[in-house]
Amino acid sequence: MRPYALGAAPAPLLLLTGMVSLQFGSAFAKRLFEETGPTGATLLRLLIAAALLCLLSRPAPRLLRVHWRLLLPYGAVFAVMQFAFYEATSRLPLGVVVTLEFSGPLLLAAVTSRRALDRLWVAVAAVGLLVLGGTRGMDDPVGLAASLLTGAALTGYILLGARVGRAVPGGSGLALGLTVAAVLALPTAPALGLPSPGVLLEPGVLGAALAVAVLTTVVPFSLEFAALRRLPPRVFAVLSTVEPVIAALVGLALLGERLSPAQWAAVLCVVTAAVGTARRPTAPDEPPAPSDRSPSRKNGVHT
Q: Which residues have a Cβ under 8 Å from the Cβ of 20 and sit 6 or more positions away?
A: 246, 250
Give the chain's residues under pLDDT 50. Answer: 3-4, 282-301
Q: Give the model's pLDDT for residue 57.
A: 87
The pLDDT assigned to 206 comes to: 95
What integer pLDDT is reported at residue 44 of this predicted model? 95
pLDDT single digits (tens) 82-130: 999 999 999 999 999 998 888 777 777 667 777 777 778 878 888 887 7
pLDDT at 7: 57
Give dist(CA 224, CA 236) in Å, integer. Answer: 9
Cβ neighbours for 136, distance < 8 A, ≥ 6 positions apart: 260
pTM: 0.83
